[in-house]
Structure 1
């Protein structure tokens, strides 16, 4: 009672001097969350985005004392899941997991089932390399061998894409443009199913977030050829960068973050940001994510907003130059 009276007094004082902050916004962040929080992952279960989100959801549930449910809503390069979050109440109880795909979709799709300003950035949680892996049965053991085969026999290598028009697609199109190595793209609804088909020998290769396949590379079930970042991953330190393996200057880094529907009160956005950072900084969580191949990021919502602005012209140019289209 005393707390609510105090908040009303603050709101009344601010209103008297010409500033209006809704009472609900002034105090609701203190009690957030008071019910189940849902995180929509717009790709199929089993991929890196799903693994990351389930790790965070488990710890957030413990921190908040409320259930945090992960819901996979795959399809249409992530736009179906994103549209679901865009239509949700702007109260912080529905979050969207997304990365650079949010920017790529805005470039590639002539029309989207949501407004381009439908989401409020919360946090860039991790950054990570993409990694090129092949089924051991292909006989390919190095990035140079991969390029040689793809150039000598165009389309003879089937490459599963964890999403048509995603960062892996963009990255490989840049490889094709720089080397002439052409492969047969097979799009999937996410990294999980794309990986399963390479493991089963139904496709030859995939270019995917490193964290999605770390365990398979370590066990020998997949052969890692190179990573897309200018640095090697501590999770797989023996895997060279593409720059080291034959493409000087090549660099593509992807990321995973979280958003709320636009209009979510800033105090709630800030609280979610702080709490996710608390989870990311926990030694056991950081160690687990880094072992998977992620690099923990963090930072305030404004940093993610700035990142979105910076990467759009870069990817728009790459898509235009490579001629990538969803049609």
Structure 2
């Protein structure tokens, strides 16, 4: 028999209270479960960051030993190895303007154990080799910028020129005869950078492609070619010793590492600026937690006083505390910038 009157009201009140209590208990349990899952996720992320790396890390460099890319990578690999307690090896996969290293890195597992030293030079390779299966823009995720460096026209003292103006005069007098090495090969950044000069002055050298700055420099020192257009950091010591003559740097201001070498702009090519940078990328799909740890550790190593002094002594400008997204943006921006330069100037790099 159904309850009625005051008894019914009491029954309904008690039933409501019981349902509300059950709802609160269920909500609390659900909230607790959600918080537990969140905590587990955070713990897993922290664990992944703490554990990485547990084996050898490779840095792939697209150019031969002895050049600026190689010097930068080796300086950082030693310190990262000390920090992680794991071996960090530099592998020089030279050839085809750096594209062989790009392809090798793109094929690697996206786990953080393979990094590619990338930068402006790889952007030009991507522009020049659009038919390749892999490129630095679409197949990688940024990790950290490391350094900015001027490019330099350096020649053998045997060439008989002492400054940029004399070099230009010789190119005009002997078009296509002065041999200039290109460490990043035909179609690379240094080829484009010199062609901008050549287009303005109306004379070009005879370009000799190389798989890196080391072999190109050896041939200049050995008297096999007249000079090279090269990253300044690769030949700083040779210019200081007088074995090479630095004619002009590509940046808007002089390099503190070689303050007596004027800029190309102040030497007769107004407005000429070619900025270059180098940094690290990882295969696309590398976990964010791993990328973030790599970013923090690389930035930390770059801020060590002895590392900064070493790199700045070579002519690099160390980049401070870059973020992975900055690397992605820089690669995309430079791809657009150099596409525009090639279209506007009509320069052919083949």
**Are the counterparts in 2 of residues 174 and 318 from structure 1 also a CA contact under 8 Å?**
no
How far apart, in 2, do the equivalents of 1:83 and 1:241 lie?
35
The answer to whether the aligner puts 1:61 opposite 2:81 as a matched pair is yes
**Are the counterparts in 2 of residues 173 and 322 from structure 1 also a CA contact under 8 Å?**
no
2:293 pairs with 248, 267, 271, which one?
271
The answer to whether the aligner puts 1:51 opposite 2:74 as a matched pair is no
Q: How does 1:115-264 map to 2 (within 5 A)?
A: 116-163=137-184, 164-264=186-286
From the superposition, tell whether residues 105 and 24 of structure 1 become closer, same or farther in structure 2 (CA, over 3 Å): farther
The answer to whether the aligner puts 1:307 opposite 2:325 as a matched pair is no
The answer to whether the aligner puts 1:323 opposite 2:347 as a matched pair is yes
CA offsets 1:234-282 (integer angstroms, 9 cap, x no match): 0000000011111111100111110110000111111111111111100
How far apart, in 1, do the equivalents of 2:43 and 2:128 lie?
41
The answer to whether the aligner puts 1:88 opposite 2:108 as a matched pair is yes
Q: Who is 2:12 aligned against? A: none
Q: Structure 2, unaligned stretches of length 5 or more?
A: 1-30
**Are the counterparts in 2 of residues 174 and 322 from structure 1 also a CA contact under 8 Å?**
no
Please provide the CA RMSD for this pair.
2.0
2:50 pairs with 15, 27, 30, which one?
30
How far apart, in 1, do the equivalents of 2:114 and 2:44 lie?
18
Deviation for aligned residue 1:173: 0.6
The answer to whether the aligner puts 1:111 opposite 2:122 as a matched pair is no
Q: Secondary structure at the match of 1:181?
A: coil
Q: Who is 2:314 aligned against? A: 292
**Are the counterparts in 2 of residues 129 and 228 from structure 1 also a CA contact under 8 Å?**
yes
| TM-score for both structures, normalised by structure 1 | 0.92
Deviation for aligned residue 1:23: 7.8
Deviation for aligned residue 1:228: 0.5
Q: Secondary structure at the match of 1:98?
A: strand
How far apart, in 2, do the equivalents of 1:213 and 1:39 lie?
22
How far apart, in 1, do the equivalents of 2:95 and 2:82 lie?
30
How far apart, in 2, do the equivalents of 1:123 and 1:322 lie?
33
CA offsets 1:81-119 (integer angstroms, 9 cap, x no match): 111110111000000011112211221113113254211
Q: Secondary structure at the match of 1:40?
A: strand
How far apart, in 2, do the equivalents of 1:125 and 1:79 lie?
20
How far apart, in 2, do the equivalents of 1:220 and 1:67 lie?
37
How far apart, in 1, do the equivalents of 2:257 and 2:98 lie?
27
CA offsets 1:110-134 (integer angstroms, 9 cap, x no match): 3113254211111110001000000
